[in-house]
Amino acid sequence: MTAMTARARQLTTGITRDPDVIEEAQRLRYDVFSAEYGSDLGATTPGLDADAFDDLCDHLIVRNAESGDLVATTRILHQREVDGVEHFYSAGEFDLSALAQLPGTLAELGRTCVHPDYRNGATISLLWSTLASYLQEHRIDYIIGCASISMADGGHRAWRIANHLQQTYLAEETFRVSPLKALPHLTHSVSAERPAAIPPLIRTYMRLGARVCGAPCWDPEFRCADLLVLLEVDKLAARYSRHFLGKAS
């Protein structure tokens, strides 16, 4: 496992397929997601958020070097590990047929979570700098992923955020997908309401240049709304490209 250090918090990060480390990540995911979405996530092993995709993925982890605690994680599924886009995790929520026509290499980002005590710029920057290096090393052209929003309030906040993101960050027609299970509509319109605060991870996606690929999907197991987002790696916002990859503008 390679590592980089953020001096302020003594954080290290790297990419792994070590089963013991993956289990730590699965435990963190369960703790974070079950608390945020009020769901047991359909877990087959108590306390672990695990599925069949974990064995196919490279897992990016961030650890507190002093305590040894794993504090953030995400996983990357390269298209070489699956037989077409219909076998990505997000194909269980969206019709991805349009993305099958894209030239270049596609990868899927998933199960991204950060421990509440570490949701700050340093941790998220470290997470993304490691991801950016991975994308460059593996010559990935597009990365997709499901951005989740809790529906704990019945969906009002999710609809407000989804509407705002579709109005402001909607992808071109080439990248559009449709949800397999549409998000239930509320009994009143929320389009005129002031947008709710966008979750930090989704806000980071947008700042990096990601776009929303269409309408949200309803995930009843996680009790959340999911938006498919796509990032064209060569269109990273200039300042982030310089920061993460050392490229000149």
For residue 96, what is the domain's CATH number?
3.40.630
Q: Note the pLDDT of residue 179.
A: 96
Indicate whether 33 belongs to any domain: no
Share the mean pLDDT of the chain: 85
Higher pLDDT, 9 or 99: 99
As given in the structure block, the two tokens for residue 10 are 């003594």
Indicate whether 30 belongs to any domain: no
41 pLDDT tier (thresholds 50, 70, 90): low
Calculate the CA 244 to chain-centre distance: 18
Q: How far is CA 38 from CA 46, 122, 124, 185, in A?
A: 15, 27, 24, 21
Q: Are 1 and 63 in contact (CB under 8 A)?
A: no
Note the pTM of the prediction, 2 decimals: 0.86
pLDDT greater than 50 at residue 190 = yes
Q: Mapping DSSP to helix (H, G, I), strand (E, B) and coil, where does residue 166 land?
A: helix
Indicate whether 135 belongs to any domain: yes
pLDDT digits (tens, 9 = 90+) for 200-246: 778 888 888 899 999 999 988 878 899 999 999 887 755 555 555 55
Section 50-64 average pLDDT: 95
Indicate whether 196 belongs to any domain: yes
- 129: Cα within 13 Å, side-chain hemisphere: 21
114 pLDDT tier (thresholds 50, 70, 90): very high
Indicate whether 12 belongs to any domain: no
Expressed as residue numbers, the domain containing 180 is 74-245
Indicate whether 2 belongs to any domain: no
* CA–CA distance, 209 with 169 (Å, rounded to integer): 9
Q: For the chain, how many structural domains are there in total?
A: 1
pLDDT digits (tens, 9 = 90+) for 131-179: 988 998 999 999 999 998 888 888 888 889 999 999 999 999 999 999 9
